[in-house]
Amino acid sequence: MTSRRTFLCGDPDVTITSQQMEHHLDDCDPLACVLFSHSPSVQVYYSLRSRLESCSEAWLQEFIEL
């Protein structure tokens, strides 16, 4: 069973799965990931961790500078 949560980014009625969140962060730029981190949840932090583990050095450097 995949956990679900209401994600308040744009449309407050949108409900996404943790897998969708992870996929979404895979396509985000560093600034968007920083903004997502301001909505604390297990899904966001798990997805962010996965993104950080698989990103390029240039992407990570930009993320750190924010």
Buried-state track 7-23, b at ≥16 Cβ within 10 A, e below 16? beeeeeeeebebebbbe
DSSP annotation of 39 reads S
- In contact, 37 and 28? CB cutoff 8 Å: no
Domain ranges, ordered by start, for the chain: 4-65
Indicate the residue type of 20: Q
pLDDT score recorded for residue 65:
92
More confident residue, 1 or 40: 40
**Segment 58-63 mean pLDDT:** 91
pLDDT score recorded for residue 8:
40
